[in-house]
Every structure is written in structure tokens, then in C-alpha cells.
Structure 1
């Protein structure tokens, strides 16, 4: 037996060192870092025991998720911006539409007032023309009432057949007119016996200026419609120098109230008044104020 067999050792028992865990963590690019974790117990100078643990690596898939999330956020922002722009455009268009509608209503109202004013003026002019024609008719009727317009009204013997005028029933006087004047004369003579209606222009009823205008229209000469204008439509001629086709007028030149056609031989044809109609008569029956020559 060894002499040292029962001699206790003075060396302190060896304690097991705490484990130090080394964590190997992979970073997105594959970089490794080591983390040492010491046990809670044991002296600071204990010999460390290391253990390496592999941590999961941040892969490119996670980076892709981050990118997708960023793209989604950007799309949402873009959509919000687009909606804001659309809303602003709608508001602007609505305002413009309201303004245009108000302007259209304003113009329509102005046009309506303008049309009403034009209609009122036209109505007033028509009434003035009607009043003028009524005055002419009254004057002619008054003149006719003072004369005995019939073949039996002459101062001579009834057997002589002479008269101051020719009624519509009498045979028309043969005119010496030629050319266009003859056509004018023939036209008015063909309508002797037609009715007189104020404002009428044929074919079977006339007023005085309507008959004169139609007589000239059928040879291609356009005359004014009313007596006042017809009395200045040609060259003024003396009543002692009349030719068939001349226009006779009663009243002043430019203010005449009645017109007729001279057919020659001291006779004229004219639409006299509602009671007489279209007649052929002597100048002595109703002497005109003047005459104009168109042909």
C-alpha cells in the first residue's frame, strides 16, 4: 500500500464549467456572428465550453415580401390620388355645366323677348297698313256715293246710249295699245266684273293695287304692292299725254290711296270698292290726280 494512499488531497475538486452557447446567426447576406451566452452560475474564471447553434438565414423571399408590401402601399396611394383628381374633375365639370345651363337660359329668355318685340312691331305695322287701306276704302266709297255710276245716268236721251262711264256689264272698249302695254290692258279688261276684297291679289278678287301689280307681273315687271309706292314706280306723265298701260293714281304721288290702269280712249280699269268690284269707267267719272309710265 502506498504511503500516500490515505492522505487526502489538498486540491479542490474540479467543477464542471458552465456551458457557453455560441449562437451562429445568419444575416441576410450569409454573414455569421457568434453570440456567447454564459451560465447563470459558476465563477467568472471558469473555462468556457462553447456550443454553436445555427440560426435561420434571412432569405431573398422575405425581401421580396417587403418589396411587394411597398408596391401595394404605393398602389393604394396612387389610387387615392387618382380618386382625388377624379373628384376634383367631377366638381369642376358640374360647376361648368351649371354655368353653361344658366347662360343658355339667359340667352333663350333674351331671344324670346326679342321675338316677342319683333312680333309686336309686325302686328303694329299690319294694323297700320289695315287702317290705311280702310281709310282708302272709305274715301273711295264716299266718292262713289256722290256719283251715279250706270249707263243710264247720262244727261242725254236714253235712246242715245251715251254715258259718262261704262259699267262692268258693258262691252269693254277696244284698246289701241300694242306690245306689252296691250298685254297689260287685256289682263285688266279680262277681270272686269271680279269682286273687290281689301288685300286680295286674285285670281277672282282684287283690291286696286293688287290688280295693277298682277297686270304688270304677267309681263315680267315687278311693281310695289301698295298704291303709295305704285304712284312713284315710273316716270310722271301729264294726264293730257296718257298712253294705254299707264298707271293712274288718286291722291298725291307717294301718298296715293287708289290706282288703276289707263286702257285708252279716255277709259280706265280698276278695282274700285266692295260695292262696285272691278270696273271699266271713263276718266270723267272719277278724274285721277296723276299718272306714271312704266313701259
Structure 2
């Protein structure tokens, strides 16, 4: 149909003369395909033109391009550095933990060494104190023996009888003292075999000081009841210069815990304990600590 031809009613369509009041609109014409193709081609051409324009600019300003990509590169580098950094921190923490453990072990070892040194020092001090006490006891015993020897020498150097005293009288006095010693020892030997009973003073049984008290009482000499008190009477004598009849003690002066009588010949007689009756013993087997002379 020519565009200038008058529009005619298509065949088969009946036109009513009555007007319904509705206006018919022509349907929109679809966009021809060649228009769409033209638009697509135009867009491609525009894109190519922009790229062509940008290429020289990028070539002229390479630094700007590098600068634009630098943040991305730094970001990638930062991400890459994060893993080694985390690994380094973990390693440092592990080293610190090991150092703490080593320090704790060192402190524990130092503490143990200090405790061991303290124990050794205490043992050495204790040993030194024991040696010092033993030396003091030996010195005290030596001093007592020296005092006893001095007293014995003083007694031996007593002034002689005056000229008015007959020599025969002085000579007669010695046998009297010797007689008492003999009587004392005779009484003691008569008690041999009798049992030891604590607190007993005879005649059927004795304890140590009960026997010595009874023996001296038999010759008319009164001495205290206990070994402690008996050790404080008479004249102190050295245990290396004993004479028959001397009282010998185990323990110091005033603190003796046992007493016997020296009978000569390196022997002494005593009532020792419940398992041993009155008997004679060798002085060398059980040396005394203290001695006094009463007769």
C-alpha cells in the first residue's frame, strides 16, 4: 500500500453507525530491528573511542597508572605480610614461654642449693658445738683433777708436829687411820652378793649410796644419804691419785648419779643396779668422773 493511498476499511469488518463514545488507539509500533542494531553498534563504537582516547593518556602518565594500582598492590602486600607477622608473634610467644620455664627451673635449682647449703652449715655448726662442749667438759675435768691434786699436796705438806709433841704419838696416829680404812673395806666386802634395791640402806640389801653410808657409819663416820650430797663432802682428789677408802663418783660434783668405794689394786666396790648385786669391779672398765677423800 502506498503511503498516499486513502485508508479503507478492511473487508469483513462491519462499521456500526452508532458511536459508543470510545476512541480506538493505534497499537504502538514495534521498534525496527535495524534501530536496535544501530544502537548496539553505536555503543561499541563509543567504547572503542573512549579506550582509544584513554590509551595515549595512560601512556603519557604511567606514574598515575602505577599510583592508581599502588593501593591495591599495598593491600596485597599487607595481606601477604600478615601471615609471616602472625607466625613471628607466635614464635616470640613460644620463646618467652620457654624462657619463663627456664627461669623457674633456675630459681628452683638455686633454692634447692641454698637449702642444701643451709643443712650442711647447720650440721657443721652442730658438730662444732659438740666438739666445743666435749672440750669444755674435758677442761672442767682437768681443772677438777688439778684442784684435787693441789688439795692433796696441801694435805701432804701439813705442818709437822711441834717439838713438844712426841714423835711416837704422831707415829701411833697413822695406824689408827689405816685401821679405819681396813675396817671400812672389811665391812664392804662382807656385803658382797647382797641384792641391789633402790632406796635400801641394809642390812639385807642396798642401793649405791645406801651401801656407802652404811659402810662409813660402821666406822663412826656420818656422811649424807644421797650420792649427790656425798660428792660435796671431804677433800676432792684426782681420779689418778686414788687411795683405798676414797669415794668415787660418776657425774660431777653435786650432780653425781652413782657412787662406789675405791679399795686399792685398781678395783672398786659398789651396789650397781638391780641386775648386779654388791660386787667388785675393775676401775679401768668404768672410770669415774669425780672423787673425794673422807678419811
Q: TM-score, normalised by structure 2?
A: 0.40
> Normalized per residue, which structure has more strand?
1
Calculate the TM-score normalised by the size of structure 1.
0.40
